[in-house]
Structure 1
């Protein structure tokens, strides 16, 4: 699997409400689902004059002028930098083979649709109705993972499959329950579910600033295979 294939997995397992090609741009209607489903992407050669077109289309949707940039978009990245657009959320793509680990009893479960307590946990981490709607839009195999520790629900994640690759999104562990192995157990449960669905690979996206997540994913045997970032005016 090459990096572009993995970007296809990202888009299939965390989809925008609508995508429209306008000139050299792919314009995404995110409907409150976050940057990943709201940022414009170039689909052909772009000049500085084309930027205004994308900005106008995003304004029609009530969205800020936000651009998603991959390594091959270096020319556009330079244009936006010169126009005063600043880098946001440098992000890292991880992928690896499905791992088989035993999920400790009563620590992590796959549940769909997510329970209200799971939505409450997500909400505490800033993952609100707009992102829940993204999960509901996924058409392929999908589930949510409930993590428990100290006899309470304290973590959640969403996992979906495109082709033979599972991708985990929206990983959240309540602050008081972090660094106790809950996220790891949730990954074990996600991998177990993915294998049962016939997946062969396991993947995630995390921000470059989330060092703890990067350490966890590396320890699970996942490797960095791609990067991207956003640009937006302050």
Structure 2
């Protein structure tokens, strides 16, 4: 990355560039030894007291001493995306929220407080898609109080890594003692190539209804609460896929898809451990994609935890690419007790 003017490294950022996306080069390691440099790219979330904080695409906050800077510049808000359907982070976050709907919600300005008896963080966290209509400290006070009334920890789901995401909010939460617990990726793809996968879907059964067999394979909740069932079956147009196991056994594989306009959202794609690497998950997704195409969808999305390597390999092979990441930040225990 070019930081030079006339062949000389230059620091071309100032504290006035806070909240902009920047790229910096800094000196690292033992200054008495050979010089070593590293580059950091992300949103400049603060620059005070001779210290910069930059939030990377991954949601990680990097602390940099001003004295270590050797070069820096403002860069475009987000890199151009060459593959996958056109979409912005706010659209995708809204669509994904509709596809995993909470049993209870309440607006706070442009934030949405969501609760579902504790079933998944996605359905029990704040979706902050704009201005809460009050100062941040007041908003956080209301958030922690709302979840405390329900006996739940307070979480805020914060997106990073694309134009219009919330790196600044992530940095503000960190300074207030909130903890980033779980990170995940939002991945997207064109739907037709998924439906065209070379997969044997003859054993896949599709249903509008969720049954005991499907739930027996579902890892999160084999004995779901009413709130869990409401979340799983909620959404604009929901389909469940099952590949039955042998007599008396749990299904070999399951999946869920919700169709919402042009989007088809995939979730709960799970395979019996002893039957993995046999193409069953691919078959489930292919069958669901074909049904979603019939309903008029053209684009696909899914959400997968960052450390789920096996799932990433499957989704890479089916053409899904990273759009942005999101993170669940938990309130300090003294606030959510």
Q: Give TM-score scaled by structure 1 length.
A: 0.89
Report runs of 4+ in structure 1 exceeding 6 Å deviation: none
Q: Counterpart of 1:146?
A: 242
User: Can you give the 5+ residue segments of structure 1 that lack an aligned partner in the other structure?
Assistant: none
> Measured at CA, do residues 224 and 149 of structure 1 come closer, stay the same or move farther in structure 2, by a change above 3 Å?
farther
Compute the displacement of 1:221 (Å): 1.2
CA contact (8 A) 1:148 1:154 kept: yes
SS across alignment from 1:84:
coil
Q: Counterpart of 1:126?
A: 220
Q: Does 1:95 align with 2:182?
A: no
Aligned pair count reads 231
CA distance in 1 between partners of 2:257 and 2:282 (Å): 14
Q: Counterpart of 2:304?
A: 206
Q: Counterpart of 1:79?
A: 172
Q: Counterpart of 1:44?
A: 131
Partner of residue 136 from structure 1, selected from 230, 233, 236: 233
CA distance in 2 between partners of 1:184 and 1:172 (Å): 10
CA distance in 2 between partners of 1:173 and 1:52 (Å): 42
- Deviation by residue 1:61-90 (Cα, 9 ceiling, x = unmatched): 222111111123223212222233221221
Partner of residue 148 from structure 2, selected from 32, 56, 59: 59
CA contact (8 A) 2:106 2:114 kept: yes
User: Can you give the 5+ residue segments of structure 2 that lack an aligned partner in the other structure?
Assistant: 1-86
Compute the displacement of 1:20 (Å): 1.0
Higher mean displacement: 126-135 or 33-42: 126-135
SS across alignment from 2:228:
helix
SS across alignment from 1:36:
coil
> Measured at CA, do residues 184 and 110 of structure 1 come closer, stay the same or move farther in structure 2, by a change above 3 Å?
same
Compute the displacement of 1:159 (Å): 0.4
Compute the displacement of 1:179 (Å): 2.5
CA contact (8 A) 1:97 1:202 kept: yes
CA RMSD of aligned residues (A): 2.1
CA contact (8 A) 2:157 2:329 kept: yes
CA contact (8 A) 1:149 1:177 kept: no
CA contact (8 A) 1:141 1:197 kept: no
CA distance in 2 between partners of 1:203 and 1:173 (Å): 19
Greater Rg by CA? 2
Q: Does 1:17 align with 2:114?
A: no
Compute the displacement of 1:149 (Å): 5.9
Q: Counterpart of 1:218?
A: 316
Q: Give TM-score scaled by structure 2 length.
A: 0.63
Q: Counterpart of 1:8?
A: 94
- Deviation by residue 1:103-134 (Cα, 9 ceiling, x = unmatched): 41543221220221111111xx1233343321
Choose between structure 1 and 2: higher helix proportion: 1
